Structure 1
């Protein structure tokens, strides 16, 4: 008699998903729970950590910070259609900044979906597009674990980015087979002939320049860029409004930050005959001017892993490649240059004259420059004062500068929480009052998990960056830009985050000393610093 057929043991969707999360390192889950996610949390395992965000965009931003700190994808659980909708500004940032975030949103029971139920999403896979790399609601419950595994692989493949999976709430208890994790090696190198042609152009160049974008930091290619720049004796710029640094700003070849204005950008690069953009779209503009992308005589080459980005650039030769192998090949191909190195970037201008009763943003940046250790992770979201920060507070070290590369506010404050939770090292976050109000709830999470973040909140009483842009185009006053009178120190205290308020220059040095002396076990602290409003036109500093 034949032996009975052996059947593999059956698990549930929930069990298979948790096993996959363990295998891929996604055991810290950021989220904001709701009714359609409850079955996912049945018998929540002790080796998983749930980090609650009090609003869904803060949950996504915290997950992004965690992913940037660990180098692995981070998992976010959102509540149905409304929760995903709340999060989309942060999803947009994660997409533009190439952050691998795996988003799961609850959906109503499958039997209810034809009835357009309360909380249900009519077309869930279309909802977050085009700002996710992958979006799906599986046809069957049994397909959920495999779909999650595919989403994770897509998120971690270059160019990295967020992915989305919608899961009906009754799927979690349905049977499903386990999914074995597997490895996808994502690096790929350019056509050798293309790199050889670029090497010839660089060897023949009289004044080459490299433009470093966020892709350099994302691919951990900072050292490779420095070696190429030193071999070429090339000037190095950072691309407009970059979400990362990508080059040591204390390096003698560093020239500064390109402006997000077409005519000013072309003028800055006009002195270079060959420009190589690395992991940067280069032409990231904030305001329009009638000007060609580059001056006559400037030849552009563009290296990046994103073929879509290569396709839309208006000028230049694009080479689609991951950066590290291409940079190493290119460094070997080019001859050591004997051309003079470009003059170093000018030192910061002296502090502007201010009242002895006011704290200028420049003073804050100078004091931070004197006090911050070189290996500090700095998170920035202060649009009104980003020029002052770039001019006066140089960043060095891979992964040491994080900001929004897309402009959707509310990113920085929770991003700092997730980044601090990734490895427990203290993070310094310089944030504006307007930006902080988009995601101030993240202070509760920082306090709850004792995230080691020192917040320096620059309070100028309004949306000064918007006022400045209005001034630039002749609109003044701009309605809806005054938000003064908020006691952020008291607000932080109500969330459980210790805080201090500083309004006089004499008190600022010691207050910063206290904030920056805290260790990894001391939890968060917020320092509210009152600075004067500034109505000068936007981007005027770039023109000098």
Structure 2
């Protein structure tokens, strides 16, 4: 019987010149350091462990107890830093757990480089335990680019390409599947390249847009999340003031792009065709910036805009431009495009529009989501960061929790649940000098409750405020829309969020009335570490 030959150890194979070649892991660590991706969000399994052999002291590993939590934390961190975050998941099983928040990251246009382990190349033909079948297809269509390198030596180049693609507007997640035995293979050093791209928009189209705004009798602006992503907060304020144009927020916008206490702030567009038409009917020219204006959540009939209203759209996402049902679209960085509009705009003097009235809530009686949000607005520092996932309270939040400072509001652009709680943890890691407040529904919180453990381990200054209405209230609202008075399986009165928080190492207090609410919020907002307030609302 022929004796099996032992494979040579190539982990430190000599180069043609006789010197020891670095391993793929060493090359990749140097590349990640050069790219500024030294924080790794993960939940590793067996196929990922060799990536972390001799983990460098200047890197930070952020552990999540479930992969969707990992992805959510990375999303919050990337949005907070404005830079691609690195995620490490476990084969197909871990990627599957993370898909909901991967979908949200795609809709948020968050730059992420997601890696996942693969079984050793030599045993892939035998469908080994925990291997990833069709690894690059599985995360589609929620990633911009996916790759499993043909050779171990191609891993650093794949990660570099994944980084550049993730950071190219419209930003989004990318994916690299890496076999377990690639990390110890020898390879050639790989240096990161710099890639610069300016997207100022078509000059002639922007000149035509500026001229149309100048000629308008009743112009209006609609701002989406891309205004915040592109850093165009000041430019939007300047353009609105120059034209005395009311400013609406696009339906389901995941960022705040205009101060909600500004005299020109007009309110929030509803994600329905007829509602959008009614809100904008008084305007002859509408300029939509940084996101889709005609985003619908329910079916509708009739026109998408009145025949007398002309629409211009400016944003960095060509997909939004392609499916927009009305308007002339310019694909561009919003801040750069607004700079050109401001340079060209010479409008006539216009009267200021009437101010928007706010709805008051009496500070008495049982707690409601409106009262909780009003008290939070009164007690929080204006520059504190709100990360929200309370779908049934979005309307009350618009009325009673105004966002008045740039880069202080984040929510899920996808509508998927389980993003807000871990995203708040990632945001606090990215912005350690800011108080982060996670406003969460009780149903939403349960999708990612394990994120409390990461908050406790990291000691981040997050105030988790749970609006406890003991059911999926958003579904009950839609049930009434569909004529359904009874919904199955949507009640959960037994949940105790103070006990859940304390079980994960987070201090917590419950509030049942106004005095206990104010005391609990003041305590939480003053804390240096993570805390949770359970507000029982009617």
Q: Same fold (TM over 0.5)?
A: yes
Say whether residues 1:134 and 2:145 are aligned partners: yes
Written as runs of structure 1 = structure 2, the 5 A alignment for 1:431-450 is 431-450=440-459
Say whether residues 1:172 and 2:189 are aligned partners: no
- Render the CA deviation track for 1:248-269: whole Å, top value 9, x for unaligned: 1111111111001111111101
Cα distance between partner residues in 2 of 1:161 and 1:5: 40
Written as runs of structure 1 = structure 2, the 5 A alignment for 1:409-424 is 409-424=417-432
Moved more, 16-25 or 180-189: 180-189
- Render the CA deviation track for 1:133-167: whole Å, top value 9, x for unaligned: 11111111100000100110111111111111110
Say whether residues 1:35 and 2:46 are aligned partners: yes
Cα distance between partner residues in 1 of 2:16 and 2:472: 70
Written as runs of structure 1 = structure 2, the 5 A alignment for 1:118-133 is 118-133=129-144
Cα distance between partner residues in 2 of 1:409 and 1:151: 26
Cα distance between partner residues in 1 of 2:164 and 2:448: 29
Shift of 1:6: 4.3
Cα distance between partner residues in 1 of 2:405 and 2:46: 43
Cα distance between partner residues in 1 of 2:153 and 2:18: 16
Moved more, 237-246 or 307-316: 307-316
Counterpart of 1:457 in structure 2 is 466
Q: 1:244 aligns with which of 247, 255, 259?
A: 255
Runs (4+) of structure 1 exceeding 3 A deviation are: 4-9
RMSD: 1.4
Consecutive unaligned residues in structure 2, runs of 5 or more? 1-14
Counterpart of 1:68 in structure 2 is 79
Does the 8 Å CA contact 1:158/1:187 hold for their aligned counterparts?
no
Q: 1:156 aligns with which of 167, 170, 173?
A: 167
Q: 2:492 aligns with which of 480, 483, 490?
A: 483
Cα distance between partner residues in 1 of 2:31 and 2:188: 11
Cα distance between partner residues in 2 of 1:394 and 1:186: 35
Say whether residues 1:91 and 2:102 are aligned partners: yes
Structure 1 residues 9 and 224: alpha-carbon distance in aligned structure 2, compared to 1, 3 A threshold: farther
- Render the CA deviation track for 1:365-402: whole Å, top value 9, x for unaligned: 11111112121111111011111011111102221100
Cα distance between partner residues in 2 of 1:496 and 1:419: 19
- Render the CA deviation track for 1:320-350: whole Å, top value 9, x for unaligned: 1111111000111111440112112112x22
- Render the CA deviation track for 1:476-512: whole Å, top value 9, x for unaligned: 2111211111111011100001111111222111111
1:86 aligned counterpart, secondary structure? helix
1:175 aligned counterpart, secondary structure? coil
Counterpart of 1:540 in structure 2 is none
Say whether residues 1:517 and 2:523 are aligned partners: no
Say whether residues 1:401 and 2:409 are aligned partners: yes
Cα distance between partner residues in 1 of 2:293 and 2:67: 31
Cα distance between partner residues in 2 of 1:411 and 1:272: 36
Shift of 1:315: 1.3
Counterpart of 1:351 in structure 2 is 361
Cα distance between partner residues in 2 of 1:33 and 1:517: 35
Aligned length: 523
Counterpart of 2:11 in structure 1 is none
Shift of 1:186: 2.9
Does the 8 Å CA contact 1:233/1:337 hold for their aligned counterparts?
no
Counterpart of 2:9 in structure 1 is none
Cα distance between partner residues in 2 of 1:448 and 1:9: 39
Say whether residues 1:274 and 2:282 are aligned partners: no
Written as runs of structure 1 = structure 2, the 5 A alignment for 1:222-261 is 222-261=233-272
Does the 8 Å CA contact 1:158/1:186 hold for their aligned counterparts?
no
Counterpart of 2:304 in structure 1 is 293
Counterpart of 2:6 in structure 1 is none
Does the 8 Å CA contact 1:52/1:445 hold for their aligned counterparts?
yes
Shift of 1:9: 5.7
Q: 1:530 aligns with which of 515, 518, 536?
A: 536
TM-score with structure 1 setting the length:
0.94
Cα distance between partner residues in 1 of 2:338 and 2:360: 38
Cα distance between partner residues in 2 of 1:46 and 1:265: 53
Cα distance between partner residues in 2 of 1:9 and 1:190: 49
TM-score with structure 2 setting the length:
0.95
Structure 1 residues 9 and 192: alpha-carbon distance in aligned structure 2, compared to 1, 3 A threshold: farther
Shift of 1:352: 6.0
Say whether residues 1:391 and 2:402 are aligned partners: no
Does the 8 Å CA contact 1:149/1:179 hold for their aligned counterparts?
no
Cα distance between partner residues in 2 of 1:181 and 1:401: 33
